[in-house]
Copies of this chain bind each other. A is one copy, B any other.
Amino acid sequence: MELSATAYVILGMVSWRPMSGYDIKQTVDGSTRFFWAASYSQIYAELHRLEQAGLLAAEPQPTGGRRRNLHRLTDDGRRALREWLEREPETFEMRDEALLKLFFASASPESARTTLEAKRRHHRALAERLEGMQRAGKASGYAAIVLGYGVECQRWMESWCERALAELPTGGGDPASDEVAA
């Protein structure tokens, strides 16, 4: 049975404690979002699929008249999570529009500087947000290790932008004619 990586995000989250779909979304937004996002529609759809596959069990826990389903791992679910953890990670993707713009900047050399400045601001803002989470003691254990990665990675990217800006030729000139050999 093939599961999407997003399914494993859900299995991993409920391995900590039983959660509702809403809880999962909040926790994803406050943690894995920076290296693995998920929307409500995806979460609720996966939740139903995992239920049907017997990897999760739902317990209705209404608060007054407001319905709520608490999802918990079944034994099969815990086994599936462990098997996934023990397989080699496959997906590593980056989509960085700023890098793309810098790559093609020869079509508008003045854009290189503003693109790099925007990228630097982006990484700084994200780094500060993640540092705030560290200071607030939001994460512990492996989650804290990954949070540390996030902070350092964003700071590295920010400082790279600073270095690149310093090395950029002033006056809008081209850093040698640009091209990639096919």
Binding site for B on A (CB under 8 A): 5, 8-9, 12, 15-17, 23, 26-27, 30-32, 34-37, 78, 81-82, 84-86, 88-108, 110-112, 114-115, 118-119, 122, 136-146, 149, 152-153, 156-157, 160, 164, 174-182
Is B141 a contact partner of A35 (Cβ separation < 8 A)? no
Given contacts A88-B118, A99-B146, A141-B175, 15 further A-B contacts (CB under 8 A): A5-B97, A15-B106, A31-B103, A36-B99, A82-B107, A82-B111, A85-B105, A92-B122, A93-B93, A93-B95, A136-B181, A137-B181, A139-B180, A142-B175, A143-B179
Question: How far in angstroms is the closest Cβ of chain B from A137?
Answer: 8
> Is A12 in contact with B119, judged by CB distance below 8 angstroms?
no
Complex interface: chain B residues within 8 A of A145 (CB): 102, 164, 175
- By the criterion CB–CB under 8 Å, are A91 and B97 in contact? yes
User: 9 interchain pairs (CB within 8 A)?
Assistant: A17-B179, A81-B104, A82-B107, A86-B114, A89-B96, A93-B95, A106-B141, A141-B179, A144-B175
Among A114, A115, A174, A181, max chain B CB count under 10 A is at A181
CA of A111 to CA of B30, assembled, Å: 24
CB closest residue in chain B, given A92: B96
Residues of B contacting A84 in the complex (Cβ-Cβ under 8 angstroms):
101
Assess the A178–B95 pair: CB atoms within 8 A: no
A111 → B minimal CB distance (Å) = 4
A142 vs B30: C-alpha distance when bound (angstroms): 35
* B182 & A23 in contact (Cβ 8 Å cutoff): yes
